[in-house]
Amino acid sequence: MKPQNLLSPLPAVAPEETFTTLLQGPHVKLERIVSDGQATPAGEWYDQETHEWVLLLSGSAGLVFEGETEACVLHPGDYILIPAHQRHRVEWTDRRQKTVWLAVHYQ
């Protein structure tokens, strides 16, 4: 077996975030998300059926949760649990370097 690396290779600059499923089972999905300055379009919210635990590996990002006025800023090593149906949006991601997330979606 050959090991793989979450930080290499990273996709080229893309107009949208890149989602790569790393592992999937009946009640869990592990994915790598690569952002390159993207944000959730104005007025749109994520409202997911599953819980999402997110770890930021590189770059930086700001998340806004419904009902809050300030962004929750994430730096490498920061993680957060987003409960199912907690409406949220990605306010911004780093424009100077790729932002790499490791996300675990589970029921």
Contact 33, 103 (CB under 8 A): yes
Q: What is the model's pLDDT at position 95? A: 94
- Reported as a single tens digit per residue, the pLDDT across 10-33 is 988 888 999 999 999 999 999 999
With a cut of 90, say whether residue 79 has pLDDT above it. yes
Q: Are strands 99-106 and 72-74 parallel, antiparallel or unpaired?
A: unpaired
Residue range 18-106, CATH number: 2.60.120.10
pTM, 2 dp: 0.93
Which residue's entry shows tokens 């090991």?
3
Calculate the average pLDDT of the chain: 96
- Reported as a single tens digit per residue, the pLDDT across 81-91 is 999 999 999 99
